[in-house]
Amino acid sequence: MKHLLKLLDWSSEDIQEVLNLADQLKYEQKHGIAKNYLGGKTLGMIFEKASTRTRVSFEVGMFQLGGKALFLSSSDLQIGRGEPVQDTARVLSRYLDGIMIRTFKQEEVEALAEYGSIPIINGLTDFCHPCQVLADLMTIRERKGKLAGLKMCFIGDGNNMMNSLIVGALKSGMSISVACPEGYEPDGSVLDFTKEYGDKFAMFRTPIEAAKDADVVITDVWASMGQESEALERAKAFDGYQINDELMTAAKTDAMVLHCLPAHRGEEITAEVFEAHADEIFDEAENRLHAQKAVMVYLMK
């Protein structure tokens, strides 16, 4: 049984195959020749955190593939009242053909996969956001024509996005430089993974150094969902970790800017840079739909 729990579990070939399938599904949808690849199938979508893009793109994606998606808020499920995830996994496996889950702990997603008997898709945990990064890679390849050999730069928190971008970029043949304040580094398991890739990975304290000659510059919020109480402390720590015009002068002249959204203008990105790159950022948001349809077809067909 194949899942998408984190990109660390996927091979470069898995990623490549899903990106190719995403391009194909996007083409078929745009040309009115979409097929019901998942006709009669049902996806359960468990949300323990808020969502705009993930919820809507999975639900619409499943509809476009001929299947159905069920929105399952954790506050309505018995899981919210303490029913163990191990039992939830075994019950839902009897009804559904796949589960997408957005939650806090990565262990909860791994437990669903261990105890359930249907494909599990990680729709964001504190550790990673693999669906977003597949959409990001799709968007970069669409605009630059390739991934291998390009340089990605991520400015900001060593959070779910930074963790997944490092793995996704390196497995796609890109190099990646990150800049983060002390104490906000990526996860240890991700840093261990980078050791296989030598100087294709670099970590800096100074954003401008990380952005040097980058083809793609990416950032994310300073305080993620669940970290609201740390917002003030984080605003201090991340002061200067911003994508602005000055930072962009260090990147290549034709560098793209991506942001998973929601964005906080004036914090991790200026309104000017955001608007100058809005086409790329909203293509990225659209590609969540196509990339996730590819993930569902790849895992559930």
220 catalytic residue (yes or no): yes
Asked if 160 interacts with ligand NVA (CB under 6 A), we say yes
For 75, list phi and psi in degrees, rounded to 5.
Answer: -75, -20
Instruction: Single out the residue of 105, 63, 60, 65 nearest to residue 85, CA to CA.
Output: 105
220 binds, among ligand NVA, ligand CP, none (CB under 5 to 8 A by kind): ligand NVA
288 in catalytic set: yes
- Catalytic (active site) residue 129: yes
Is residue 245 among the annotated active site residues? Answer: no
The residues with which 155 forms a beta bridge, in sequence order, are: 179, 219
122, 139, 159, 242: residue in contact with ligand NVA (rule CB under 6 A):
159
CA distance 260 to 288: 10
Whether 260 is catalytic is: yes
Name the binder of 219 from ligand NVA, ligand CP, none, CB < 5-8 A by kind: none
Integer Cα distance of 229 and 245 in angstroms: 30
Give the x/- contact pattern for ligand NVA in 67-106, rule: CB under 6 A: ----------------------------------------
- Window 260-299: residues binding ligand NVA (CB under 6 A): 260
Q: Indicate the residue among 19 and 135 with the shorter CB distance to ligand NVA.
A: 135
Residue 179 vs 289, nearer CB to ligand CP: 289
**220 contacts ligand NVA (rule: CB under 6 A):** yes
Residue 207 vs residues 166, 171, 214, 272: alpha-carbon distances, Å: 16, 23, 12, 18
Distance CA 69, CA 46 (A): 11
153 binds, among ligand NVA, ligand CP, none (CB under 5 to 8 A by kind): none
Closest separation in Å from C-beta 54 to ligand CP: 3
Which region, judged by CB under 6 A, interacts with ligand NVA, from 11-19, 99-107, 134-142, 217-225? 217-225
Q: Which of 224, 242, 270, 292 binds ligand NVA (CB under 6 A)?
A: 224
For the question of residue 102 being annotated catalytic, the response is: yes
Q: Which residue type does 5 have?
A: L
Q: Which residue's Cβ has the minimum distance to ligand NVA?
A: 224
Residue ranges binding ligand CP (CB under 6 A): 51-54, 124, 132, 260-261
**CB neighbour class for 227 (10 Å; exposed up to 12, middle 13-18, buried from 19):** middle
Catalytic option among 55, 102, 141, 234: 102
Select 92 or 289, whichever has its Cβ closest to ligand CP.
Answer: 289
Specify whether the CB–CB gap between 61 and 123 falls below 8 A. no
Contacting positions for ligand NVA (CB under 6 A): 124, 159-161, 220-221, 224-225, 260
What residues act catalytically?
Answer: 102, 129, 132, 220, 260, 288
